[in-house]
Amino acid sequence: MRRAILDSFWARERGTVQSTASGVRTILRKGKILGFTEEELFPARGPFDLTDDWGMGIACCMLLRTLDPGENEALIQFGTARKIRSAYSNYWQSSVHGPQATVAMRDTTKLFITSCPTNGLWYERFQHGVHKRQGDLIKPDMAISIEAMLALMDVFEMEWKSCESERERAEIIFPALFAMITYCGGLRGEETPLTDLAGMKKYFLEGVTHKTHPHVPIALLGRFKNDGIDKYHYLPIALETRSGLKIKPWVDRMFAHYEKRGIKNGRVFRDLNSGKPAKQGDYEYEILKRLVEIQARGDGTIPLTDDIFEDMGVRRTFRRGANSQARNQGVSPEDIKFLMRWSALERGKGMAVGGDMLMHYTELRLSLPTMIRFSSAL
């Protein structure tokens, strides 16, 4: 409780606290000249009711939560600990107290007035003070350079040629294809496993034989029909990028692998044994260990000072590297945002999201030159 009170005290900067204290002393001095006592100038400081009306119990629970061990550091981050507040407020709203909230509305704006302790002023100050004291430890994934990406795909290609069994080929195909789609599509690692086999096959021939902009269509499985093409988010990737990355051979190998097994639909990325949808982490080690091998050559493709397993990860490394390379090649931020708009649509759960009307109504096939500009430049 003492820790919680101190955190609420220091939710404001030291100078602000000192200024407030100085202001109170000034009021007392000036009030004394006018003949006022302290009790006449200021409201009573207490006593308070012997009940927890401010959320002290939940604050103590949150402080204990901040002492739990973290995954990457000794203790969990503030962003994890603060979920205590949302859990409690959601529980509160579902209780007998929830319907008692007052709703003020004007036009489409709504304001809910609630007596939930964790939404009160004191708890807000307390949580802000915890955040200031604990801080944030942000470790973004290091971007992969185009030189390292080319070297990585060369390693996969050489390993593919030396494979003797279908199983060995499969163990090469999917990490390589994962890296290629994530990089050339500018995707986050958790988005790539949404790639759908039937959707890719349906539009593959149309894409690779396009008269002016041949491409490989990546069909990302979505919940709603946002893009007007069945249930997929359509992401075109150039057959060959400016630096020489080629995605079609790896897609052809993936199709051949599933054709031999008689598989026609489902996720492209799946567990080779169980067939269950794969996750980004299933490919991280296979990719990073090859980057370590490239680094060990000592040719400068990846600096020897980089800690690959510590600083790189499939969630952001490929996306950040692709965005950097695209900007280096003159791709405009508007083109990058247009390509990435499918993420906003998915987060919108099928509802229209903020953006220009042009974005919502432009036919995808007519927008192909804009959409393919990103991967072509890599």
Amino acid 138: pLDDT? 66
Total number of domains constituting the chain: 2
CA distance 249 to 176: 11
- For residue 185, which of 313, 327, 366, 336 has the smallest C-alpha distance? 336
Residue 95 lies in a domain: no
Q: Where are the alpha helices (DSSP H) in the chain?
A: 2-9, 14-34, 38-41, 56-65, 78-81, 83-93, 121-134, 146-161, 166-184, 197-208, 248-260, 281-296, 308-311, 317-328, 333-339, 341-347, 357-361, 368-377
Q: How many CB atoms lie within 10 A of CB 339?
A: 23
Residue 97 lies in a domain: no
Question: Do 263 and 343 sit in the same domain of this protein?
Answer: yes
Amino acid 355: pLDDT? 44
pLDDT tens string, the chain, 378 residues long: the values are 999 999 998 888 888 888 999 999 999 999 999 999 998 999 988 888 888 888 999 999 999 999 999 876 788 888 888 899 999 998 988 888 877 767 776 666 777 778 888 888 899 999 999 998 888 766 668 899 999 999 999 999 999 999 888 899 999 999 999 999 999 999 988 889 999 998 889 889 988 998 888 999 898 886 434 444 446 677 889 999 999 999 999 999 999 999 999 999 899 999 988 889 999 999 999 999 999 999 999 999 999 988 898 889 898 999 999 999 999 998 888 777 777 665 554 454 444 444 443 444 345 667 788 888 889 999
Amino acid 223: pLDDT? 47
Question: Do 193 and 66 sit in the same domain of this protein?
Answer: no
Q: What is the pTM of this model?
A: 0.69
Amino acid 343: pLDDT? 55
Residue 105 lies in a domain: no
Question: Do 281 and 373 sit in the same domain of this protein?
Answer: yes
Question: Do 196 and 286 sit in the same domain of this protein?
Answer: yes
For residue 351, what are the domain limits?
Answer: 146-377
Amino acid 227: pLDDT? 44
Question: Do 328 and 293 sit in the same domain of this protein?
Answer: yes
Residue 311 lies in a domain: yes
Amino acid 352: pLDDT? 42
Residue 93 lies in a domain: no
CATH of the domain at 167: 1.10.443
